[in-house]
Amino acid sequence: MTAAVLSPVVDTATDVVLSVRDLKVSARSDHGLVPLVEGLSFDLHRGETLAIAGESGSGKSITSLACMGLLPAPAVRVTGGSIRFGDEELTTLPEKKMQAMRGARIAMIFQEPMTALNPVMSIGRQLVEAIRAHEPLSISRARARALEAVKAVRLSQPEKRLEQYPHELSGGMRQRVMIAMAIALRPAVLIADEPTTALDVTVQREVLDLLRDLQKDLGTAVILITHDMGVVAEMADRVIVMRKGKMVEAASTVDLFDAPQEEYTRDLLAAVPRIGTGASRPEPEMRELLVRYDDVSVNFPIRQGLLGRVAARVHAVEHVSLEIFRGETLSLVGESGCGKSTMAKALVGLVPHSGRIEINGKALGDLNNAGRKAIPRDLQIVFQDPMAALDARMTVGELIREPLVIHGIGTPAEQKARVHELLERVELSRTVYNRYPHQFSGGQRQRICIARALALKPKLIICDESVAALDVSIQAKVLDLLRDLQKESGVTYLFISHDMAVVENISDRVAVMYLGQIVEMGTRAQLFGNPQHTYTRRLLAAVPVPDPRRERQPSARLSGEIPSPVWKVGEGPNRVGLVDIGGGHLVAR
């Protein structure tokens, strides 16, 4: 069954399904109302994709929440303008009528599906509940509708997925469930708020292909909110660029990319990383080895029964060997669950491993307690979510100073001076010393995390998806900062990412992982210029290109059952790799 089984339903009398005029949204503060969106106007037409782009805080998501009637009132509310859906004025629509409208006529796909789905309800029950809230169907008919929607989003084993819970699905699968929930009632308008930001490039391509197919079959109008200009180029018919709550520029996608009129738009497009633009660096004749993985494996037991016997094991990393040299940037790429982050955790001693990991010629397994405690002096991690990595109860000064206090480095006055030095180094003012993490933007919080990682002058910094959630302009500044720090101090980076354009721009060497194994490794020029492995070519083919005139190549889709990393006790692995069978298809065997 394909997406075509869901017939289009649009109950508007004209081509315009959603009309926004002079919209104003404000937040309450101690000093009165603070404008979040000012004077925004646009029309959304049946079957088109309108992208709203801009930096964090530009008003993109606030606009979408206003259209859905989900603003956190009374703190944030619409203070002027109009939002019309057909004959209905949504800004004054009673909540009971808005509840009937929401989901059935206007649906939304949220950025983080794990927080949007109920963790204690099965996927099927959540879909059935959403359908029956809007249509008087029996449980059996609602479940049939739910199954139809799950099949439409091309989830494997759809009957099984309805019985599973959110934590049992991958990020890409959960995002597909969110899309299934959104389309189950055939909405006229679908708002997708950063629907692919946290997804790997191959899963992102599949989700974008899915949205495109569903839009074609249902005639749904889509508002796409994103900071990924490659996604905008591939998906959007028209683009609105927002900054500080105001519309800076609006144009067709082709016109915007060909001839942006405003300086801010030009700066935004210039900040987009593009494959093929990375500056190459010559390899030094002599390289000093910093880290060595030698036949490293990591697996996690799955226990069952009353006695908790080990019935199976998740083989997250399998017999991996690689070297990291001082002063280089080695990038580790691959899909979710391939073992990238597990490799990093093994390096810092957070997960047990077999095989040998050496740092400066010393094996982790041979270190005594004092040696293990000293590891953070040489190794630091910058995580993807800076807000989750920072203690909300501590000030910025306390957070950056903490590693110095733990390791007894310097007097209090010297520690404070070091913090001031680090703040300036990451382009933050000394005056933020006594402020708290929630008072900063995402990009500023990531700079705080980098400053904290630098406090101990480590030899190696692990960047685990550290720029994935940042807007392109902020991302460019953070990447420039990482390069500058490397030039000045010779720090080494293990850069974990799913963004191949970013990887091409920052890496010296790249290692590609698939199902816990390194399938290809080489210099940046080798891997991007002449990829040898089928999976590497699939990764590169899936990268969105920020050029709306470029003809999009068909993505290589997997057929066959993807080998599982779970091995039952007493059984061997069931994975050999990916086989190219031509026609843009890959078979997992």
Q: How big, in percent rounded to 5, are the helix, strand and coil portions of the chain?
A: 35, 25, 35
How far apart (Å, rounded) are the C-alpha atoms in residues 72 and 94? 16
Prediction pTM value: 0.76
Query: Pairing between strand 578-582 and 585-588?
Result: antiparallel
Query: Between 438 and 357, where is the model more confident?
Result: 357
**What kind and span of H or E run contains 354?**
strand 354-359
155, 249: one domain: yes
Instruction: Give a yes or no: residue 547 inside a domain.
Output: no
Distance of CA 233 to CAs 143, 216, 309, Å?
Answer: 37, 18, 52
pLDDT of 4: 36
Instruction: Give a yes or no: residue 561 inside a domain.
Output: no
| 241, 249 Cβ separation under 8 angstroms | yes
pLDDT of 550: 77
How far apart (Å, rounded) are the C-alpha atoms in residues 172 and 202? 10
- 156: domain CATH number is 3.40.50.300
Find how far residue 60's CA is from the centre of its chain. Answer: 17
512, 424: one domain: yes
Please, what is the end-to-end C-alpha distance for the chain in angstroms? 24
Residue 546 has pLDDT above 80, yes or no: yes
Residue 296 has pLDDT above 90, yes or no: yes
Last residue of a domain, one of 223, 238, 270: 270
What would the mean pLDDT of 448-462 be, rounded to a whole number?
91
pLDDT-based confidence at 589, cuts 50/70/90? very low
Report the half-sphere exposure of 39 (CA within 13 A, side-chain side). 6
Instruction: Give a yes or no: residue 572 inside a domain.
Output: no
Range in 101-110, 276-285, 451-460, 474-483 the model is least confident about: 276-285
pLDDT of 583: 43
Last residue of a domain, one of 503, 523, 543: 523
Residue 14 has pLDDT above 70, yes or no: no
379, 265: one domain: no
State the alpha helices, DSSP H only, in 198-326: 201-218, 229-235, 253-258, 263-270
pLDDT-based confidence at 445, cuts 50/70/90? confident
pLDDT tens for residues 354-411?
999 998 888 888 888 777 777 778 899 988 778 778 898 999 999 999 999 998 999 9
440, 513: one domain: yes
pLDDT-based confidence at 556, cuts 50/70/90? low
249, 294: one domain: no
332, 263: one domain: no
214, 357: one domain: no
Instruction: Give a yes or no: residue 546 inside a domain.
Output: no
**What kind and span of H or E run contains 520?**
strand 517-523
256, 152: one domain: yes
Asked whether the CA dihedral 499, 504, 509, 514 is positive or negative, the reply is positive
Instruction: Give a yes or no: residue 342 inside a domain.
Output: yes
357, 243: one domain: no
pLDDT of 280: 59
Instruction: Give a yes or no: residue 578 inside a domain.
Output: no
Say how many domains are in the chain: 2
Instruction: Give a yes or no: residue 551 inside a domain.
Output: no
| 535, 512 Cβ separation under 8 angstroms | yes
266, 293: one domain: no
Instruction: Give a yes or no: residue 281 inside a domain.
Output: no
262, 306: one domain: no
Mean pLDDT of the chain: 84
Residue 577 has pLDDT above 60, yes or no: no
Domain carrying residue 371: 289-523
pLDDT-based confidence at 311, cuts 50/70/90? confident
370, 315: one domain: yes
Last residue of a domain, one of 468, 498, 523: 523
pLDDT tens for residues 130-184?
999 888 899 999 999 999 888 877 777 888 889 998 887 766 678 788 888 888 8
